[in-house]
Amino acid sequence: MERTSGGARTHCPYCALQCAMTLTEPASRAPGEPLLEVAGRDFPTNRGGLCKKGWTSAVVLDAPGRVTVPLVKQPDGSFAEASWDEALDLVVDRVRAAQAAGGADAVGVFGGGGLTNEKAYQLGKFARTALRTSRIDYNGRFCMSSAAAAANRAFGLDRGLPFPVTDLDAARTVLLLGSNPADTMPPFLGHLEGARAAGGLIVVDPRRSSTARLTADGVGIHLAAAPGTDLALLLGLAHLVIAEGLVDRAYVDARTSGFEALRRSVAEWWPERTAAVTGVPADRLREVVRRLAEGDAYILTGRGVEQHADGTDTAQAAINLALLLGLPGTAGSGYGTMTGQGNGQGGREHGQKADQLPGYRSIADPAARAHVAAVWGVDPDSIPGPGVPAVQLLESAGAPGGVSCLFVHGSNPVISAPNAGAVRAAFARLDTLVVCDFLLGDTAALADVVLPIAQWAEEDGTMTNLEGRVLRRRRALEPPGQARSELWILAELARRLGSAAQFDTDPETVFGELGRASAGGKADYSGIDYRMLDGDEPVHWPFPAGGTSTPRPFAERFGHPDGLAKFVPVKRRQNPETPSRPDELWLVTGRLLEHYQSGAQTRQVPELMDARPRLVATMHPTTASARGLAEGDTAVFANHRASISAPIALDAGIRPDTVFLPFHFPGGDSANLLTSDAVDPTSSMPEFKSAVVTVAKA
């Protein structure tokens, strides 16, 4: 294992900021103490800082209940230990039985945005060459797909932040929509201090989140727009930019196309109409656009904007606003989206998405298929066509014509998927569920076969952070017991299935193959090798062979053949669900500082669980009082999908028409039991952020 004399230089296992850290084995270790000591490392994204999750990340490495041997479900529902040969042979038998009965697409694969680039690449290759199935997608469909679709339409390229995160340091104004980095990636706040000091931090959120609180005392602006109205807000801001003569005409004429159609499309969103729909006063709207037009401004979007049935159009409206102001690709200004999962960027570039091949290539493109097939050593015609997106894939589990055998890697969909009760019921209908995990968590507990895997500190590999920077993850420990890398597991399964393609188990070798497969694609990694990543020098994709790092891909031209960015007019549509009775409220979901995603990892850390042990709902005092509720009372939240109970916390900073639930908790405390699985028609992103519920005292 590769280390410096001071320990293993690696990166945090959680969010896409990918904070740098060093892991060392302690000279002595008392019972109950972590296997490794964690130290923050000076790096541009985190500058030596870590959040609570990062500081405690080593605790999960030897969490109670760590799975270290293969497990096979018994007829009575219990698990029995098995050898690797027994477990893998059983999986292969089940795959063959499923495909004999229902064809190649009777087997599906569900991946994750936390997998290394190497594992994400190998998983897509495994699905298409060993399983020969088109049925593969991943939980990044829940995370970044709307922003990706909008960026591809507007810019011809999807990269979360098309500039280094340190560029934000000099910003005077930052408009932040649908993101709460004070809780989700605290070290990121250091890059907003310049804007905050200049009074230019503008946060759009229906509640006074931890980030929105940073705008207090006149150092910024909090726009408490109604849930589901971000698109209307952005259309109204674009209208004002045009109406008040704030358009950067030189930029628009030189670097964009489609302005006139955009101008016509926002004409109906005058300030007073926008204010009536969003609840944001017209004078506040004018204040925001004038501030943005002063220069040194950035517009950043997050999941709160995208996780809607109109998420792609909302992200598009944010891009349109940025283009009107001349921000994307301009020194000192820009537009970007806040990638959530640790490898949310790299995880979608190299083959986990239903419609993509490595290098961000379309699987329907004959030239792309031929290129990748040559790297894999297979016939291009043997590669399946596009599959189905995540919600549809999960809905098909156990259904006639759907998948009867499902592999799950790096994801916990019975907690993280929308309408989670329906997902759990679908998994119960499967003939075979195979889960690769290091804990017997919420999804793994339902599995027929659990394959024990190495954790982040027990493996080598690469990740791609929110700014498109490729990073080395280095092994600090050997995996415990019989836990293995997923690269080894996929190679063994492929061999048993008679795959025509060869599968290597060495991460560096797999990364080299990934580079060759990505060569010439939008996300070209072919010029990157592990030696480049040994230090902390910036390596941003695209990085073609013989080329250089590209930290700012839009500095001179955009990704379309003509080099121009495109205005794409969008219209507001009715939300799939809207409160229609006095007893109904908007439900919005999100994260807590102490927990991450479905909580599978952070719920293993006593320090984090002591701080946030269970689901608590946040409501406005007036709303609670009208329902006979006081601080700490237990309330029932219900809709046609489910009913859950939780104690309430009162906060005058949330809109009276809104209730907030974090989504980290299992079983009956899962907020996603209540969320809708309606999807965006372009990106297939589910509608997580604006369900409707009734609230009553328990």
Q: Which of 296, 355, 283 is nearest to 325 (CA)?
A: 296
Of the residues 276, 310, 337, which one is the last residue of a structural domain? 337
Q: Which of 46, 47, 30, 49 is nearest to 38 (CA)?
A: 49
Pair (276, 355) in one structural domain: no
Q: 103-121 burial, b for 16+ CB within 10 Å, e for fewer?
A: ebbbbbbbbbbbbbbbbbb
Q: Which of 38, 15, 13 is nearest to 473 (CA)?
A: 13
Q: Are 625 and 634 in contact (CB under 8 A)?
A: no
**Is the confidence at residue 3, as pLDDT, over 50?**
no
Q: Are 269 and 239 in contact (CB under 8 A)?
A: yes
Pair (47, 95) in one structural domain: no
In this structure, is residue 90 part of a structural domain? yes
Pair (233, 380) in one structural domain: no
HSE-CB of 235 using CA atoms within 13 angstroms? 26
Three-class DSSP labels, 452-465: EECCHHHCCEEEEC
The residues that bridge with 540 in the sheet, in sequence order, are: 469
> What pLDDT digit, counting tens, does each position of 620-652 carry?
999 999 999 999 999 999 999 999 999 999 999
In this structure, is residue 578 part of a structural domain? no
> What pLDDT digit, counting tens, does each position of 292-332 carry?
999 999 999 998 899 889 999 999 999 999 999 999 999 99
Pair (298, 249) in one structural domain: yes
Spatial separation of the C-alpha atoms in residues 72 and 70, rounded to whole Å: 7
Spatial separation of the C-alpha atoms in residues 222 and 232, rounded to whole Å: 17
pLDDT > 70 fraction of the chain, expressed in percent and rounded: 99
Q: Are 84 and 68 in contact (CB under 8 A)?
A: no
Residue 399's CB is within 10 A of a number of other CB atoms, namely 12
Which residue type does 355 have?
D
Domain region containing 684? 584-697
- How many residues belong to the chain? 698
On average, the pLDDT of the chain sits at 95
Tell me what pLDDT residue 218 has.
78
Place of tokens 């892991």: 23
**Is the confidence at residue 4, as pLDDT, over 50?**
no
Pair (162, 263) in one structural domain: yes
Average pLDDT over residues 480-485: 98
9 — pLDDT class (breaks 50, 70, 90): very high
In this structure, is residue 3 part of a structural domain? no
Query: Which pTM does this prediction carry?
Result: 0.96
In this structure, is residue 568 part of a structural domain? no
Q: Which of 252-261, 300-309, 419-428, 464-473 has the lowest mean pLDDT?
A: 300-309
Residue 248: which CATH number?
3.40.228.10
DSSP, collapsed to helix, strand or coil, labels residue 430 as: coil
Of the residues 314, 337, 360, which one is the last residue of a structural domain? 337
Pair (389, 501) in one structural domain: yes
Residue 53: which CATH number?
2.20.25.90
Pair (525, 645) in one structural domain: no
Q: Are 484 and 504 in contact (CB under 8 A)?
A: no
Pair (502, 642) in one structural domain: no
Q: Which of 540, 554, 548, 558 is nearest to 467 (CA)?
A: 540
Phi, psi of 92 (to 5 degrees): -60, -40
How many structural domains compose the chain?
4
DSSP, collapsed to helix, strand or coil, labels residue 157 as: coil
Pair (323, 175) in one structural domain: yes
Q: Are 411 and 444 in contact (CB under 8 A)?
A: no
Pair (486, 362) in one structural domain: yes
Place of tokens 């340190």: 166
The pairing of beta strand 361-362 with beta strand 356-357: antiparallel
Of the residues 17, 45, 62, which one is the last residue of a structural domain? 62
**Is the confidence at residue 690, as pLDDT, over 90?**
no
Tell me what pLDDT residue 1 has.
36
342 — pLDDT class (breaks 50, 70, 90): confident
Alpha helices, DSSP H, located in 472-584? 486-496, 507-518
Token pair of 35, please? 């296997």
Pair (305, 162) in one structural domain: yes
